[in-house]
Every structure is written in C-alpha cells, then in structure tokens.
Amino acid sequence: MGEDRPLKTLREVRREHILRVLEQAKWDLEEASRILRVSPAFLRKELRHYGLRKK
C-alpha cells in the first residue's frame, strides 16, 4: 500500500503532540494546558519528562 515505515512509539507521538500544542499556544503553559485538558502542573511534569524547552 505504501512505504513500510516503522510506527512511532506512543512516547514519540505524545512528545510531538505536546510540542505542537506548545508552539500553537506560543509556549503559554496556561493556554497549552487548557488545550490539552491537563493541569499546568502536569504539563510542567511532562515537559521535564520529555526534555522539552522553549528555543
């Protein structure tokens, strides 16, 4: 049907999704938390877990 590309891991998908939302929210953690429907504290924990930082 197409190329046989390896599937991304759930970790990779979650990290990329969080990063896209953060970029959409211009790294406003309150706004990103609202979009993701998680608490700001949980989002900060995820940022540390995935090693995400604003460039």
pLDDT for residue 1: 54
Length of the chain: 55
Structure tokens of 10?
């759930």
Model pTM score: 0.85
Query: Where do the domains of the chain lie, and which CATH numbers do they carry?
Result: 10-50 (1.10.10)
Average pLDDT, the chain: 95
Residue 27: how many other CB atoms lie within 10 Å:
13
Q: Sorting pLDDT into bands at 50, 70 and 90, what band is 11?
A: very high
Q: Flag whether pLDDT at 20 surpasses 70.
A: yes
Q: Return d(Cα 55, Cα 37) in angstroms, integer.
A: 24
Mean pLDDT, rounded, for 8-29: 98
Structure tokens of 12?
């990779």
Helix 29-36 to helix 40-50 angle, to the nearest 10 degrees? 100
